[in-house]
């Protein structure tokens, strides 16, 4: 037990270090993450709503709303754990310096996951508040669930970023990861259109951790809770978090030691 607490304290040191650097350019750091969903909601939600009939009794803007919170989580987690981690590992040699202290590779990865979960929770909560102010959340209490779901969703999304960091040979190769992994997860996730009447796509997205996070956010936003659906989506998302998290730990440990 004492070893576990010690590891958590060391991992928290990684979180503190990231925050100290992050806050120096706070506005510049949060702007792209918040601007992209806002522009998407404006362009598609407000732009297309007059031309699209209601979906499940919701306007198109209301349908898009929870997906915008999920988008913020996806981009926050992936880019922080891909480009951000890679820069710290390759160009700044931050982790080489950390490994000369009691901090080990396990604490580095755990710290990155804690950091990205906190960021994602705050971002999702911020987006939720804005959506509530715009009257786009049929369930106003969803703003309290968005940070919790966002923190959990950030783990598998961040793990994909860490795995990418362990496999790419140069920073330009992240573009390939985004194009062939992140973009499909994003666009085919139930964020922009429902998948329950599309059997093939509906079956394919079951292997996407992002889809299950989107589904949980949609249930919270629309007040359409189902114990069976919650149990299913939550268990799959957490399973991906565990599997991808352990895989990324093994890969990063090998990368940092070598």
Looking at residue 47, what is its pLDDT? 78
Q: Which residue has the tokens 């049929």?
A: 138
Total residue count of the chain as it appears in this document: 258
Looking at residue 140, what is its pLDDT? 93
Q: Residue 18's closest CA among 101, 80, 107, 83?
A: 80
Record the tokens describing residue 186, joined without a space: 């994003």
Record the tokens describing residue 137, joined without a space: 């959340």
Looking at residue 154, what is its pLDDT? 98
For the chain, 258 residues long, give each residue's pLDDT as a single digit of tens: 667 888 999 999 999 999 999 998 888 888 877 777 778 887 887 777 777 878 888 989 999 999 999 999 999 999 999 999 999 999 999 999 999 999 999 999 999 999 999 999 999 999 999 899 888 999 999 999 999 999 999 999 999 999 999 999 999 999 999 999 999 999 999 999 999 888 899 999 999 999 999 999 999 999 999 999 999 999 999 999 999 999 999 999 999 987
Looking at residue 1, what is its pLDDT? 64
Q: Where are the alpha helices (DSSP H) in the chain?
A: 2-22, 26-40, 47-48, 60-79, 85-86, 94-98, 105-133, 142-167, 174-177, 183-187, 199-204, 209-222, 227-257
Cα dihedral 33/38/44/46 (nearest 10): 170
DSSP code, position 58 = B
- Backbone angles phi and psi of 184, in degrees to 5: -60, -40
Q: Residue 10's closest CA among 85, 92, 112?
A: 112
Q: Which residue has the tokens 């951000």?
A: 84
- Distance from C-alpha of 159 to C-alpha of 164, rounded to nearest angstrom: 8
Looking at residue 42, what is its pLDDT? 79
Looking at residue 141, what is its pLDDT? 94
Report the predicted TM-score, pTM, of the whole model to 2 decimal places: 0.94
């Amino acid at each position: 037990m004492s070893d576990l607490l010690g590891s958590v304290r060391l991992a928290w040191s990684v979180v503190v270090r990231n925050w100290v650097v992050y806050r120096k350019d706070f506005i510049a750091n949060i702007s792209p993450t918040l601007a992209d969903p806002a522009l998407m909601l404006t362009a598609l939600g407000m732009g297309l709503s007059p031309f699209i009939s209601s979906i499940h009794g919701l306007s198109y803007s209301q349908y898009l709303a929870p997906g915008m919170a999920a988008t913020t989580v996806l981009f926050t987690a992936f880019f922080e754990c891909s480009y951000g981690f890679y820069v710290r590992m390759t160009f700044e040699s931050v982790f080489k310096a950390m490994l000369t202290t009691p901090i080990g590779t396990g604490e580095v990865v755990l710290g990155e996951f804690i950091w990205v979960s906190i960021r994602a929770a705050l971002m999702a909560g911020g987006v939720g508040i804005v959506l509530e102010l715009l009257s786009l959340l049929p369930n106003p209490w969803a703003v309290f669930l968005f940070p919790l779901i966002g923190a959990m969703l950030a783990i598998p999304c961040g793990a994909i970023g860490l795995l990418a960091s362990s496999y790419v040979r140069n920073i330009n190769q992240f573009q390939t990861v985004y194009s062939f992994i992140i973009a499909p997860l994003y666009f085919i996730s139930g964020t922009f259109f429902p998948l329950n009447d599309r059997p093939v796509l509906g079956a394919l997205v079951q292997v996407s951790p992002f889809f299950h996070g989107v589904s949980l956010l949609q249930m919270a936003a629309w007040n359409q809770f189902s114990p069976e659906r919650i149990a299913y989506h939550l268990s799959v998302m957490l399973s991906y978090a565990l599997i991808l998290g352990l895989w990324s730990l093994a890969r990063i440990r090998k990368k940092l030691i070598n």
